[in-house]
């Protein structure tokens, strides 16, 4: 169940700034039709639609048809993978900061 069907890497999906902005817009608005999302960008409808398709392929977006419009909403769940991945490296930049502090202390003399 939950049929993820994840045919696109989440990291790939969030690499594009336009797609991150789409994610943000959908987070703010719960559900939005394509034409309304399109007004937020300078590019044409087709381009925005393609970006949404990529987000869909990564499982980050769900869509449903309502009348003549297609409404999109966010599914943040696949972002867990990103959080897990990046979380692993937290210790590395933290130890880096500690080493930096140490160096700064040593220089103070």
- State the residues that interact with a copy of itself by CB under 8 A: 9, 11-12, 14-15, 17, 20, 23, 27, 74-77, 79-80, 82-83, 85-90, 92-93, 96-97
* Closer residue to a copy of itself in complex, CB, 11/43: 11
**CA nearest to 13, candidates 81, 68, 102:** 81
**CA nearest to 17, candidates 45, 36, 39, 40:** 40
Element (H, E) at 62: strand 61-66
51 binds, among a copy of itself, DNA, none (CB under 5 to 8 A by kind): DNA
Q: How far apart are CB 101 and a copy of itself at their closest, in Å? A: 13
Measured from the Cβ of residue 51, the count of other Cβ atoms closer than 10 Å reads 19
Strand order in the sheet with 69-74: 32-33, 69-74, 61-66
* Closer residue to DNA in complex, CB, 16/98: 16
Token code pair at residue 97 = 């900061």
Interface residues with DNA (CB under 7 A) are 12, 15-16, 18, 33-35, 38, 42-47, 49-51, 54, 63, 66-71
* Closer residue to DNA in complex, CB, 30/107: 30
């Amino acid at each position: 169940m939950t049929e993820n069907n994840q045919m696109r890497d989440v990291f790939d999906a969030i690499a594009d700034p336009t797609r991150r902005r789409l994610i943000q817009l959908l987070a703010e608005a719960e559900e939005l039709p394509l034409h309304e999302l399109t007004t937020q960008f300078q590019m044409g409808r087709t381009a925005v639609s393609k970006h949404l398709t990529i987000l869909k392929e990564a499982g980050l977006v769900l869509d449903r048809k309502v009348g003549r419009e297609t409404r999109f909403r966010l599914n943040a769940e696949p972002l867990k993978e990103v959080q897990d991945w990046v979380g692993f490296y937290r210790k590395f930049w933290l130890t880096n900061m500690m080493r930096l502090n140490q160096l700064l202390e040593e220089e103070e003399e």
